[in-house]
Amino acid sequence: MFLFLALLDNPEEQEKFTEVYNQYRHFMWYVANQKLQDEHLAEDAVQEAFFALTRHLDQVEDVHSQRTRKFLATIVRSKAVDILRKRKPTEELKEYLAEEKRDEDILEQYLTKENYHYLISCILELEDHYRVVFEYKYLYQMGDAQIGDILGISAKNVNVRYFRARKKLQEMIQKEGSRFERA
Amino acid sequence: MKEHETRSKGEELLTRVLEECLEEDLSFVPPEGEIARTHRFSREFEQWMQEILEGMSAACRKKEIRRHFSPRLGQWAACILIFCVCGWLFVQVGGQIGGFDTKETAEEAPASETAEEEAVAAEDAPAEDMGTGSADTVTQEDPDNFESGPDEGQAVKEYCGQEVSLASQQKVQEQSDSVTTRLNCPVLDEDNPVLMLTIGNTGEENIRYYNRYDLEVWLEDAWYRIPPKSEEAGEWLILEAGMAVDEEVDLSLYQIDHDARQYRLVTRTEQGRVGIEFTFEEVFKETMETDAELKRSACLSEAPEGFQNAKAL
């Protein structure tokens, strides 16, 4: 643990970390508990999130900003999802089986202003382990290695998960679009 | 940054959508203070985070020392120190051989003893503050704190079959600039030994308080600390600005006889000590009766003669 702590190598960073802890720990717990519906597991997720934060404190520029709040929400949610996935390994298997049938990545074609409302409902429905990868990548401009470090997986696996997420979103928009057309 | 610049329109749109979705999700999260009221973190969690925060400051301190302290400078400093000590020894030994007045040395001796005593006292004070000091240690840090200045012989007293030591601070306020304490009831029933202590942070900054409280009793002329039946180590907890916390205090963990006139619970905080007084029902009733009696007799002595005669009849 102290190896990680040594990364916060100056008093300013240490102060920032303490401030984040004091200001957001209950918020983070709430976000985790929404996912896990278990107070103790939610605390574990918060611990894991703070642990990860010691290595990525550079993402926090202003402790009181909305961006920081969102970033912490993403971290703690991804940790909560990790805990959930560890408890349900069968889902992982299903995911690998689904991976067998490969389609073309044409998500770009669906990302249009006309599909804005579909997109919102699809993102809200998208599984969290995919959505957090999008958030890390697009909202916080983090690289695969950095994301992998937080999620505890390799950069290559982050890439795999990212492409699965794209494919899943593509399928969801297609489905949503055809439902809308039928209606 | 480059990646951001080279993003396609589709990806820009996706970013906006993700942002909007996250905002929508978070709009349902109640404010921090409200969550804090409904959820209290487990002791393990608080302990773990405390370790992290303390570990961080230790790691930082080490790094700072390493940054500012060059080994070569250290070697030089050590050499100079050895040189000075040798010089001082040489002067001392030379002086004695040369027949210096021994009285001078004899006069120096008590002075150095006092200095040593002062150093020991200074070391004791913070240890007591952190809750690790023994109950018997009486540190009179500030003599102004004593209302009537009890003698040194009274530092330890016999109370309820145990020794109680003079409280290290006699004058303790009920509230400081940012901390205030309240009890659920200032007059307690002897049959109910549990009381609820509320600690409130009225300031704008977070504070830390120690979750083991000192129970003190007023005996004749001063406050004395009653040691708990078994000393348990407490911990420093954080109390956020504008928040209050209820702590249960079980008086059955102390040897008390309910006969003393006044008791008080003292809470240690970073800002100093705050304490709140209470008493027990029987004692309170007696006190009230005595007070009423005194008032009545005072009224009678001040009343006109005719009224007194009528009262006598």
Residue B88 has pLDDT above 80, yes or no: yes
Nearest CB to B18; choose among A25, A33, A139: A139
Nearest CA in chain A to B13: A111
Q: What is the mean pLDDT of residues B8-27?
A: 88
Inter-chain touch A22–B238, beta carbons under 8 Å: yes
Give the gap in angstroms from C-alpha B3 to the nearest C-alpha of chain A: 8
Measure CB to CB from residue B59 to each of A2, A30, A119 and give the nearest one.
A2
Contact (CB, 8 A) for A84 and A78: no
- pLDDT, one tens digit per residue, over B298-308 is 656 655 555 45
Rounded distance between C-alpha atoms, residue A139 and residue B4, angstroms: 10
A9: chain B residues, CB-CB within 8 Å:
59-60, 63
CA distance B142 to chain A (A): 33
Task: Return d(Cα B169, Cα B142) in angstroms, integer.
Answer: 8
pLDDT at A7: 57
Contact (CB<8Å) A43/B41: yes
> Is B137 a residue whose pLDDT tops 50?
no
Q: A108 to chain B: nearest residue by CA?
A: B10
Q: Quote the CA–CA distance of B270 and B274 in Å, as a whole number.
A: 10
The pLDDT-based confidence of B97 (bands split at 50, 70, 90) is: low
Of the pLDDT bands very low, low, confident and very high (cuts 50, 70, 90), residue A88 is low
CA distance A176 to chain B (A): 16
* Inter-axis angle of helices B43-68 and A11-36, nearest 10: 160
| CA nearest to A56, candidates A23, A16, A26, A29 | A16
Q: What is the mean pLDDT of residues B55-61?
A: 61
**Residues of chain B contacting residue A112, judged by C-beta atoms under 8 Å apart:** 10, 13
Look up the pTM and report it.
Answer: 0.47
Q: What burial letters (b/e) apply to B236-259, b meaning 16+ CB within 10 Å?
A: bbbbbeebebebebebeebebebe
User: In this complex, do A29 and B59 lie within 8 Å of one another by their Cβ atoms?
Assistant: no
Which among B3, B26, B45 is the nearest to A70, CB-wise? Answer: B26
Confidence (pLDDT) at B51: 79
Across the interface, whether the CB atoms of A107 and B10 are under 8 A apart is answered yes
Which of these, B155, B127, B131, lies nearest to B214 by C-alpha position?
B131
Amino acid A104: pLDDT: 58
Residue-wise pLDDT tens digits, B101-119: 544 444 444 444 444 444 4
Q: What is the pLDDT of residue A80?
A: 93
B168 has a pLDDT exceeding 70: yes
Contact B13 A14 (CB under 8 A): no
| Cβ <8 Å between B64 and A11 | yes
pLDDT digits (tens, 9 = 90+) for B196-253: 888 888 887 888 888 888 889 888 888 888 888 887 778 888 888 778 888 888 888 8
pLDDT of residue A70: 93
* Beta strands at B162-166 and B272-280: parallel, antiparallel or unpaired: unpaired
The answer to whether the CB atoms of A116 and B17 lie below 8 A apart is yes
Instruction: Give the distance from residue A27's alpha carbon to the nearest chain B alpha carbon, in angstroms.
Output: 6
Task: Give the best-scoring range by mean pLDDT among A38-52, A102-116, B140-154.
Answer: A38-52
> What is the CB neighbour count within 10 angstroms for residue B174?
13
Cβ of residue A108 closer than 8 Å to a chain B Cβ = yes
CB B195 within 8 A of CB B231: no
**Residue B60 pLDDT:** 53
> Distance from A48 to chain B by nearest Cα, in Å?
11
More confident residue, A1 or B251: B251
Q: Is the pLDDT at B54 greater than 90, yes or no?
A: no
Q: Does A23 touch chain B (CB under 8 A)?
A: yes
Helices B43-68/A39-55 angle, 10° precision: 10
Q: Which of A143, A131, A17, A19 is nearest to A80 (CA)?
A: A131
- To the nearest whole percent, how much of chain B has pLDDT over 70? 65
Task: Name beta bridge partners: B196.
Answer: B248
3-state class (DSSP) for residue B237: strand
Task: Let me know how many helices (H) and strands (E) chain B has, helices first.
Answer: 8, 12
Q: How far is CA B188 from CA B174, B226, B278, in A?
A: 18, 18, 7
Q: Which residues on A lie below 8 Å from B245 (Cβ)?
A: none
pLDDT (average), residues B121-145 = 40
- Please give the angle made by the CA atoms of B26, B32 and B38, to the nearest 5 degrees: 110
What span, in angstroms and rounded, lies between the C-alpha atoms of B43 and B113?
A: 45
* ipTM for the whole complex: 0.82
The burial class, CB within 10 Å (0-12 / 13-18 / 19+), for A123 is buried
Contact (CB, 8 A) for A27 and A60: no
Measured between alpha carbons, how far is A40 from A44 in angstroms, rounded to an integer? Answer: 6
Give mean pLDDT, residues B111-133. 43
Smallest CA–CA distance, residue B23 to chain A, in Å, is 8
Whether residue A42 is predicted with pLDDT greater than 90 in this model: the reply is: yes
Mean pLDDT throughout A30-49? 92
Residue B148 — φ and ψ, nearest 5°?
A: -120, 10
